[in-house]
Amino acid sequence: MRTHVYIDGFNLYYGAVKGTPYYWLNVAEVCRLLLPGHEIRSIKYFSAIVGGRPNDPNKPLRQQMFFRALRTLPNLTIILGHFLSHPVRTPLVNPASDGSRFADVIKTEEKGSDVNLATHILHDAHLDAYDTAVLVSNDSDLLEPLRIVRAELGKQVGILNPQQHPSRVLQREADFFKQIRPGLLAKCLFPVTLRDGDGEFHMPPEWAT
């Protein structure tokens, strides 16, 4: 069964990885263990470049090291969106001491990943590149492309859910559904030291357990 996997990187990160010992995650191994019997021909990982924060200036460096680890996987492609920051006036839960009821804040939104993922899952189906599309996400915004792939293009759809509370609408549109659990992630970490065409590199020390 020819299978393509489409990973919503931030949905996976915030749903199953953040705050755990599993940052150095080999997503190909996750797919292999959860999809026995599937011929996984392609894994596409959708994300965006993060920026540093005053309290965490090394965050972009850790992300780039993780991307470097992902690129050692022969059938994986990273597809990047971008972040957009803009000022927004937002109401305060409690008025400030001076009576102000609103505050101006910088809102940062990740843009492009959902559209990129939907485009690729549909385009690959039209090319007849797979028999089964597997989505690693719990984002119900992706319901319509999954419905088209399944109902109109005749492909099987599976979901590997990283979030605690599964989307019921996505479950209804899937031929199969599996939960990504911490016990599985513990079995799916890269070796601490890896090697690519540029030489040896290591897991960020902040991620050491």
Q: What confidence score (pLDDT) does residue 87 get?
A: 57
Phi-psi region of 58 (alpha: psi -120 to 50; beta: other; left: phi over 0): alpha
pLDDT surpasses 60 at 196: yes
- Rounded CA gap, 5 and 137, in Å? 11
Phi-psi region of 116 (alpha: psi -120 to 50; beta: other; left: phi over 0): alpha
* pLDDT per residue as tens digits for the range 198-207: 999 999 999 9
- Rounded CA gap, 42 and 55, in Å? 37
Q: What confidence score (pLDDT) does residue 84 get?
A: 47
Q: What single string gives the DSSP state of each residue in 65-108?
A: HHHHHHTTSTTEEEEE-EEEEEEEEEE-SS--TT---EEEEEEE
Q: What confidence score (pLDDT) does residue 81 get?
A: 82
Q: List the structure tokens of 33.
A: 């263990």
Domain boundaries, the chain: 2-80+112-207, 83-109
DSSP H helices in 87-129: 113-126
* pLDDT per residue as tens digits for the range 58-88: 899 999 999 999 999 999 999 998 554 445 6
Q: What confidence score (pLDDT) does residue 208 get?
A: 84
pLDDT surpasses 60 at 195: yes
Closest CA to 78 of 57, 64, 58: 64
SS3 assignment for 153-165: CCCEEEEEECCCC
Q: What confidence score (pLDDT) does residue 107 get?
A: 45
* pLDDT per residue as tens digits for the range 103-129: 665 444 555 578 999 999 999 999 999
Q: Which residues, 6+ apart, have CB-to-CB distance to 112 below 8 Å? A: 48, 80, 81, 82
pLDDT surpasses 70 at 39: yes
Rounded mean pLDDT of 164-190?
96
64 sits in which H/E element: helix 59-70
Number of H helices and E strands in the chain, helices first, is 7, 10
- Rounded CA gap, 162 and 174, in Å? 15
**pTM of the predicted structure, to 2 decimals:** 0.87
- Rounded CA gap, 7 and 78, in Å? 10
CATH for 2-80+112-207, options being 3.40.50.1010, 3.30.2310.20, 3.20.20.10, 3.40.50.300: 3.40.50.1010
* pLDDT per residue as tens digits for the range 2-12: 999 999 999 99
